[in-house]
Amino acid sequence: MVNYKEASGVITNEITSTLTNVNSNEIDHLIDQINKAEKVFFVGVGRVLLSLQSIAKRFAHLGVQTYVVGQITEPAMTDKDLLIVGSGSGETAFPLIIAKKAKELNATVAHIGANPNSSMSQYADVFVRLPISSNPESSEEVQSEQPMKSLFEQSLLLLGDAIALMIVRKENIELNSLWEFHANLE
């Protein structure tokens, strides 16, 4: 029988292994693009989309203009904007279509995924690799015991929080000042 402490230990160990093996230069490049962009758009599907929505909300707390593709108040994208695509495989149809359209609009595209050689690579200006394996033979990537793609979605969410913390520290943002951007109708 598996107990809670064992299961939660597996999850936290996998997330720690994943996040500590992300290339910090890739993160720095992504942060540069976030800071340059007038607006930052996010696209993904399923549980990845849920993680991206959380990241968009956190970045909005930092004063970044964020939009999730498809939301009713989504504005037009321009060549001054950034699209962040979340897709572990880099082969998911909807994000690929949106990335292609963003490139046609001369926007910058960043892909956060596990596969650097995916179809998304033809559109991505920035790639941040979460080293999660879909190949049990690979020793250079984190192997997950969790169902489906849980490790990717969890790591994506925490990667977004790590990036937000880096921005706060780099910009010397006073944490109490962030409340002006927090929802207040709740």
Active site residue 171: no
Axis crossing angle, helix 4-20 with helix 150-170, rounded to the nearest 10: 60
| Alpha helix ranges (H) inside 4-149 | 4-20, 24-36, 46-61, 93-104
- Placement of tokens 């107990």 in the chain: 3
Report whether 138 contacts 1 (CB < 8 A). no
What distance in Å separates the CA atoms of residue 26 and residue 78, rounded to the nearest whole number? 23
Task: Exactly one of 153, 171, 174, 180 is catalytic; name it.
Answer: 153
Sign of CA dihedral 164, 166, 155, 88: positive
Q: Which residues are catalytic?
A: 153
